[in-house]
Chains A and B, each alone.
Chain A
């Protein structure tokens, strides 16, 4: 059974810092890994999708890496801003039709101005 763990559970940093969020998964048989952002009381916004054949994806100040063999992914946020404050969720898509996602519990990020 696939399990996804995110570390740390919460993180508070001053504005401008570069930071790394970690995600690990127990079963390396995945098709893809996705990072989402969730704002309080809101839905999820997809940030980056990495296919299992890829090593990383970049979008603006965000960079996500994937090491499938070790069951790890990191989300790197450069030059953090208060607007980055949210919960960040990691989800893996297992190797079966349908792409149902298995989520981690999330990292709550607070960027202080």
Chain B
């Protein structure tokens, strides 16, 4: 059973470009979480999704950021018109049911650098 997959592992963008980060959850998991780790800071929750639904996006900036988890395919975190402050490691996690008894399994992360 493959773990959580994220790609790309490293992404370089110039200011104003778009960044698309992909996350494939573990097989059988229908709950996906995105977290961001800014340099020298802890991980911060961004958004929680189930298939075709955004459940909680309270940690995601209101502008330029969006997330989806379609019926087929990976979850996508999209950042439009990137700025230098978006440079961070973005981690995806998945769990089977979103229950308090679930362990969240994390992917290796995508490290975004904005030039």
Q: Does A34 contact B (CB under 8 A)?
A: yes
Interface size class of B (residues with CB under 8 A): 20 to 34
Q: Bin the interface of chain A by size.
A: 20 to 34
A-B contact count (CB 8 A): 66
* B 20-59 contacts with A by CB, 8 A: 31, 33, 35, 41-45, 48, 55-56, 59
Q: Name the contact of A100 in the complex, choosing from B56, B105, B108 (C-beta under 8 A).
A: B56
Known: A89-B42, A89-B43. A98 touches B91 (CB 8 A): no
Contact flags (1/0) for A17-59 with B, using CB distance below 8 Å?
A: 0000000000000011010100001111110010110000000
Q: B100 and A100: CB pair below 8 A?
A: no
Chain B residues with CB under 8 Å of A105's CB are 41-42
| Interchain CA distance A43-B59 in the complex, whole Å | 20
Which A82-113 residues have a C-beta within 8 angstroms of B? 89, 91, 93, 97-106
- Interfacial residues, chain A to chain B (CB-CB below 8 A): 4, 31-32, 34, 36, 41-46, 49, 51-52, 89, 91, 93, 97-106
List of 8 A-B pairs having minimum Cβ-Cβ separation, nearest first: A31-B100, A44-B106, A43-B108, A105-B42, A103-B42, A103-B43, A100-B45, A43-B106
